[in-house]
Structure 1
Amino acid sequence: MAQAIMKYEQQLAQAPMPPGKKKVLLAALKLFADKGFHATTTAKIAQQAGVSEGTIYKYFTSKEDLLMKLLSPMLNTIKDNFFSQLNNYEQLPALINFFVHDRSQFVIANYSFFKLLLQELLLGESSVVQLLQAILTGSTGILAKLASLQQRFSEINTQLTPIQIARIFIGPLIAYVFQEQMLPDSLITSQSNDLQLVQQQILAGLTAPQL
């Protein structure tokens, strides 16, 4: 569990790479998430990281290359490491309970990362869209892993497509997390059963008859 909710900064600290490269990645994550990818210059990244602009180009061929090397390791970790943990659950409600609690903690812990990812997807940043497509598709992609749940759990509606399953899992969870992180406290009143309601939404979506 500890590995599943490790922050990006913690993963980066353990990665075998030069300290200057780590500083650039962390500075880029903060600035891209706060200011946007296109509004952030390499000069600003260098200033934030406390390195020369030449250091950035020592490790990355371009600002886009920096963005890809920032996003790719985390997305591959989600695809390869997290989904293997779902094999430990033989009952669908227990699996959903784990998914909701683990992933809500993970997204909150790595909020800047997911804010950046969502921003660039909404803007249609082509390289980010292509990266996500590569993570989602193929025989070992996230959609294939979600589709395999239909074979393991007979109560999941067999008419659901993999992308529909992904939407059912992710939609309520992301709505909950971004509400918690983005809305002023005066506008939200979190309840102890909020995550339980998210679980119920996911279970209902997976098992409801197709209209």
Structure 2
Amino acid sequence: MAEEMEQWLSSLLRLTDEEEKMTEKQIKIIQAAVDIFADKGYASTSTSEIAQRAGVAEGTIFRHYKTKKDLLLSIVAPVMSKLVAPFVLRDLHQVLDTEYEQFEDFLRAMMRNRLEFVVKHAPIVKIMLHEIPFHPELQSQFKEQLFPQVGERLKRIITHFQSRGDLIEMPPFALLRMSVSAIMGYIFTRCYLFPEHDWNDEEEIERVVNFIMHGLAPRKE
């Protein structure tokens, strides 16, 4: 966990332009804020805790950021397009760019890919799960950077299998929403709700794929 967080923070801190170089105290504040946000969540974190972890006076935080939310937005929002979208898309392109014989093969590849990603980067994903749903500014950044890169490619995959008669006629994004909900439902349960459970990922992947295909397969005359 510490190593992954250190790598993520290192990537974040390299994003600032030369004219926007952070001071040493700003870097310490950011490191402390991300660390505590990952552990406790934004709402349960106080600026005094951040200051103590960063080894600075609480007033130093407010010299740079007027409120705790300004701190969150100043850290996260500007780097969404440069870090989070590429981070979320890491290794996903190989799934999206592969041709599959059947839609269920695509589902298996997608689920294995995203499960491996979340297991490997669980603390970082936890921050995004904590904060993005409750901050419209972060939602906008996330959607603007992520959806254009993924949405159209997923739509093409779905319409391809629809044209072959493998999937029912339904708006592609409706099919996508249902598939993603089933896949992410398992991943969230497996990684965050019951991580201590003895999961058999391959069996669960097959269950999820069968569940999706049972609902999406066209009726046979």
Task: Confirm or deny a common fold (TM above 0.5).
Answer: yes
CA deviation profile, 1:126-173 (whole Å, cap 9, x unmatched): 112212331355xx34322221112332323341341x2332332223
Please show how residues 54-65 of structure 1 align to structure 2 within 5 Å: 54=60, 62-63=70-71, 64-65=73-74
Native 8 Å contact 1:168 1:206 kept in 2: no
What's 2:183 paired with? Answer: 173
Pairwise CA distance, 1:14? 5.7
For residue 50 of structure 2, the aligned residue among 23, 27, 45 is 45
Native 8 Å contact 2:12 2:79 kept in 1: no
Q: 1:119 & 1:43 partners in 2: Cα distance?
A: 20
Query: Identical aligned pairs, as a percentage?
Result: 21
Q: CA RMSD in A?
A: 3.8
Native 8 Å contact 2:168 2:217 kept in 1: yes
SS of structure 2 residue aligned to 1:88? coil
What's 1:148 paired with? Answer: 156
What's 1:119 paired with? Answer: 130
Please show how residues 156-171 of structure 1 align to structure 2 within 5 Å: 156-162=167-173, 164-171=174-181
Please show how residues 1-211 of structure 1 align to structure 2 within 5 Å: 9-10=6-7, 12-13=9-10, 17=14, 25-49=30-54, 54=60, 62-63=70-71, 64-69=73-78, 71-72=80-81, 73-79=83-89, 82-83=92-93, 85-91=95-101, 92-122=103-133, 124-137=134-147, 140-153=148-161, 154=164, 155-162=166-173, 164-180=174-190, 181-183=192-194, 185=196, 188-191=197-200, 193-208=203-218
What's 2:17 paired with? Answer: none
Native 8 Å contact 1:157 1:207 kept in 2: yes
Whose radius of gyration is greater, 1 or 2? 2
For residue 151 of structure 1, what is the amino acid of its counterpart?
A: T
What TM-score do the two structures reach when normalised by structure 2?
A: 0.66
What count of residue pairs does the alignment treat as equivalent?
198
What's 2:19 paired with? Answer: none
C-alpha spacing 1:190/1:46, structure 2 compared with 1 (3 Å): same
